[in-house]
Amino acid sequence: MKSSEEIALWRLLRRLSDRVRFDLDARYLDQASKITAYCVKNLLIHLEDGLLTIMDGTKQKTIAAKLLRKQPSTVFREVVGMMGEGNIETF
C-alpha cells in the first residue's frame, strides 16, 4: 500500500471485516506497485484514477477517492449501504 487512499480504504474495510482480500497488479508481492481491487464480504472495490468503485453482484456505485481523506464517514456509509442489511451483524 503506497498511496494514502489505499491505506485509508484498507483501514475502513478492516472496520467491517477482518477478512479483507486484495488483488495486486503483479503476481509476486515484491513486484507489485499497487492494489487493483479489494474484496470484502460480498463487495468488490476498485480504487483507480481518483475514483472509488464499489460493486455488488447487481449494483455499482462510483464516488471520488478524495472523500477517503476528507469525509471517510461518507465512504463508510456508502460501503455499508452496498453490503445490504442482511450481511451486517447486529448485537
Q: Beta strand 51-55 with 43-48: parallel, antiparallel or unpaired?
A: antiparallel
Residue 74 domain flag: yes
Q: Beta strand 60-64 with 51-55: parallel, antiparallel or unpaired?
A: antiparallel
Residue numbers of the domain that contains 22: 4-83
pLDDT of residue 90: 41
CA distance 9 to 68: 7
Residue 90 domain flag: no
What's the grid cell of residue 57? 453482484
Residue 48 domain flag: yes
Predicted TM-score (pTM) of the model is 0.79
Whether residue 48 contacts residue 36, with contact meaning beta carbons closer than 8 Å, is answered with yes
Q: What is the number of domains present in the chain?
A: 1
Residue 89 domain flag: no
Residue 71 domain flag: yes
pLDDT of residue 88: 46
Residue 91 domain flag: no
Low-confidence ranges of the chain (pLDDT < 70): 1, 85-91
Residue 57 domain flag: yes
Residue 88 domain flag: no
